[in-house]
Each structure stands twice: as C-alpha cells, then as structure tokens.
Amino acid sequence: MKPRHVAIAVLVATIWGVNFVVIKVGLRDFPPLFFTGLRFLAAAVPALWFVGRPKVAWKWVVAVALALGVAKFGLLFVGMAAGMPAGLSSLVLQSQVFFTVLFAAVLLHERPRPVQLIGMGVAAAGIVVIAFDYGVSSPISAFLLVVLGAGAWGLANVATRYARPPDPLNFIVWVSAVAVLPLFALSLVFEGPAADLAALRGLTWTGVGSILFIAWVSTLLGFGLWNLLLRTYEASAVVPFALLVPVAGMLSGWLLLDETVTPVRLAAAGLVIVGMAAATVKRRAPRVEVPPVIDVPVAAR
C-alpha cells in the first residue's frame, strides 16, 4: 500500500476506536436505544439524497438493518450504558470474527482452515480471561450484551455476503435508514417516551456532537474511506488494519475516560488481537508453474 493509503487506514481505525469513547459520552445524555436510533437517523437523512435507490434486494437491506443496526448496535449501546467500558467494548466486539467464521461454516458451508480454528481458540481464551477479570468488579450482564452484539455482527456479515452490494456506501446508508424506526419503537417500549422526551428537552452540545461524530465521522466518513481502500487494494491488505481499532479504543478510553487497564486485560487483549489476526489470514492461491515458451525458428516451422 502507498504511504498515504496506509495513513488513511490508520486514521479510519483510530476514528472507529475513538468512536467508543464518544458513544460512552453520548450515553450520559440519551437512553441507549434512543441514542442508537438518533445516530442512524443523522447518518441516513443527509446521505439518502446522494446515494440513490438501494442497489440490492430490499430483503437484504432489511436483514442487515435488523442484524447490524438494531441488534448489534442496540446491544452494544445497552451494554455500554449498563457499565461496559469503552475500551473493553471495542476489544470484545472484535469477537465478531469468531462468529462470522462460525456462521459462514453453518450457513454458507465454508470450511474454516486449521489456522482459523487455532486463531479463534486463542481469541476465545482471551475473551474468557477478560470476562473473568471484568466480572470481579462489574456486572457480567453488560459484558454478555456486547458479546451478543458481536454475534449479531457476525450474522450481518454473512447476510452482507449473500447480498454482495456493488456500492457499499449506498448499502450502509439504506441499512441506517431502515434501522431507525425499529430502534425508536424499541426505545418507546423499553425506555419509555418520558425518557426520550426528557433527553430531547435537555439536549446539550455534547449530546449533539456525539450524534454527529458517530453519524458523520465514524459512519459516513469512516466507511467512505474504508471502501475507497477496498476498491484500491485486496481485502487481505486492508482488513488487518481493523485490528488497530481495539488498540485505539483501549488507549483513548484510558486517556480520555480514565478507564482502568489492568495487566491481565492487556495480556488478554494481546490474545484476542493475535487470535483475530490468525483467523483473518487469507489463503494464498497455489502458484502455477508456467513452462517457458520456446521460440521455434521460422525455417524449422
């Protein structure tokens, strides 16, 4: 990759890591499900005018919207509101790689390679260590909600594989738009209209900034730059940079929110990152030896 594209990949990973800190800050002003709906509303409304109609079947837009927009982000925001730290959430959510490989094996009949199985085992060991270390001082239910969110992300990845959207930005904008109403409906049922109205009446610049950062910087700008890289290079060259997301998330959580990073969690984070790296290794195509072409003189022909 060219140096400027490497810088873009690192920038996107940093944005997505800091995004968890911004979510944590925004949750101080909004109920989690209502906050999630506002995030997708802010991302979809200005972009729908430019991306045009969906370029895949509506069933895939709805399926990914429910799995990714409603389930994954809804569970993530609720888990973080229940006490899950921002940095730890950015790490645990990467277990989506484990769920993606598992669901692809079951639903797409893709056989995982031995290196993937070993990598998933190492990452799972790291997640278990984090669960025990986190559960000593905090409710384990918040941790499990984020793990379930990672599972929903795995389902969304498999659905996206089925959909094969030709324009990923168009796809994510429509997924965001479809997710808005179910999230607001869930917020009315579980959080209540009084809580939502109170959040709107007490709206602060911090709350507005959180919504705009998550919607415009993390979603639209982040996915736009990421898709630019994927159109320019092979996925195997771009995707490994996503492993920097939990690094940026844990570092920014420690710097900006004074979150505790214990030696046990650092060691477990190393296991997760190494395991996820092994699980995303792409198999190289076998090299085909081409016999040399021997030029035959014209007279011999």
pLDDT at 250 over 90: no
Average pLDDT of the chain?
84
**What local confidence, expressed as pLDDT, does residue 48 receive?**
86
User: What is the residue whose two structure tokens read 């490994």?
Assistant: 240
106-112 LR contacts (CB < 8 Å, sep 24+)? 107/158, 108/158, 108/161
* Res. 281 pLDDT band, cuts 50 70 90: low
Task: Give CA–CA dist 14/218, Å, rounded.
Answer: 10
Q: For the segment 185-233, what is each residue's pLDDT rounded down to a tens digit?
A: 999 999 999 999 999 999 999 999 999 999 999 988 888 888 788 778 7
pLDDT at 85 over 80: yes
This prediction has a pTM of 0.85
Q: For the segment 90-116, what is each residue's pLDDT rounded down to a tens digit?
A: 888 888 877 888 888 888 777 777 887
Provide CB contacts within 8 A for 289, sequence distance 6+.
none
Alpha helices in the chain (DSSP H): 3-26, 32-51, 58-64, 73-81, 86-92, 96-107, 114-135, 140-163, 168-190, 193-201, 205-212, 222-232, 235-238, 244-257, 263-279
Q: Is there a contact between 72 and 156 (Cβ–Cβ < 8 Å)?
A: yes
* Res. 299 pLDDT band, cuts 50 70 90: very low
For the chain, what are the domain ranges?
3-279
* Res. 282 pLDDT band, cuts 50 70 90: low
* Res. 280 pLDDT band, cuts 50 70 90: low
- Residue 234: strand, helix, or coil: coil
**What local confidence, expressed as pLDDT, does residue 1 receive?**
78
**What local confidence, expressed as pLDDT, does residue 136 receive?**
59
pLDDT at 118 over 90: no
Question: What are the b/e assignments for 217-248, b being 16+ CB within 10 Å?
Answer: ebbbebbebbbebeeeeeeebbbbbbbbbbbb
Average pLDDT over every residue of 255-265 = 83
Q: Is there a contact between 272 and 91 (Cβ–Cβ < 8 Å)?
A: yes
**What local confidence, expressed as pLDDT, does residue 285 receive?**
47
- And the tokens for 7? 């810088």
